Structure 1
């Protein structure tokens, strides 16, 4: 099989590419240049897709013995991921840029280019597994063996068609230590390279600062649930539901309890804060449903709303119809900090059933 291996410059993608080549596939490595700054340098272990990362990927490909290219996808990344991130925060929502990157870049733009060039599949270093266990033998997406590294949540929006053309050679690896050990055995220079973390296009980790620089200031009020003004802010885009620190409150609560962001309203430029119990909900509503398997009302599932959050027992209340675009899910136990824009992923055991985008909580 002709396989295009996405090589970020890290240890995971290098080992994945090596495993694909060892399995007998005709592998070509490609590094996706996503930064609009051609001189972007790596800072500590933050970020990815820098000049150093491209060189690390090139050296790994040479060691594996596969052709290697660098593709400039920075325009796609900026338009489809960065601009979406800014628009969502400006609308008072809380997006996950890694979900959007996987959906729109790694398994849309990259797969489209791979198809045009005659490749059969795309290989990445994600921690997840694809199996032919769906209805009629269709591709199904599963959690990885290493639950701590599992990335099925951020991959769920890819859908079954993209999953059928994807290889995740690390899905059955015991843990990250085993991946690094294999990289050492293969004499890949990235075996000790630190993991990247945080949002790759905000390498200093200052999300609020990035949003303020990009969206500007739009001063407004911080109020309680009764509308009393407690403080002021420089822009609602600096807040997300569930946030506790940096609220700009000028006096503590009368009962001394901590307060949290419970609502963000860009139209009125108001940030509403309140007690922690106001964050809990058992009812979820979501749009933009992507399914690996047909859902029916009453189906028992597990629901996850954060990449590293726990899945909780739930039941599908209703599915989208011609007159109602919403997927509704009832949780058997309340979860906190549900924010519009987050991704909802439904599981049956370790198998992904569906993904959707959360709207505002209803209860």
Structure 2
């Protein structure tokens, strides 16, 4: 049997969630190809972060220096490299479809800003969000029809891609989520109801919506509540400074960004997840709170409903009206809130549920 060669490209996936995607994918692929006639070449920014004995790592350190380097690699250098390597499969893990020569191409699209219409606040507090919302939409289109399959994380994104890019070869690949449950707790006031918004404070995370809702809650109700928001302490970004100045008199437990262990302790300790983000390609805190069987108050948006799945203890609020969330909080304190609940609205039989299934799919002739 002919040895199959696959190139995995993740040259801009250097930190945070996107680095986790790349590392998890390579980890699973390394296991998947054991005792198989498959050769893997991974293109990464920093080779020191990856130790896989059966994967050849090619380091491309200039890939994050500027967008000009990124575009050069995607649309010029990779074509030259692909002619040298002669891969059977080229799998781009970072949204764009490079100009390469390969028998099959695949792309994994997970950057949310192409689905987002930024407001003036987004431009003001992080101009990159505005730039990316325009740039990524353009870059997604380039070569996208060359792919055997385009992977996205949710069905509503698939529907948008089908219309926007006029393609039908789209498959939902649900992000691999490993349930981690903490048995430890954070010491919180047992006489209060605790609401938790774990957020990396970008403007599209819409933290001001939660503050506006808190301001609308009657004082006697607020006395029974505590709101915990991550990323607002020891953080000097424009958006955080704006929030802390504008809402300095609004009471909330402003937390620094938390490591994984402390985050899990919070999930185990709080009563409600609150999640008003304007856009996500998944919404990992929803999965994490669900794994801890927590009550959830979520934005009334497609990403939140799909990430939530079948779940009873959840209600949804409209982002145009913070009064809706304030009324839910008031009902919760009065112990008369009735959860709306949620049901899966899509046929998920054809979905891929982890990296193992993704690689079985792309390596099948």
TM-score relative to the length of structure 2: 0.28
Q: Report which of the two has the higher share of helix.
A: 2
Q: Which has the higher contact order (CA 8 A, sep 6+)?
A: 1
Kindly indicate which of the two structures has a greater share of residues assigned to strand.
Answer: 1
TM-score, scaled relative to structure 1:
0.28
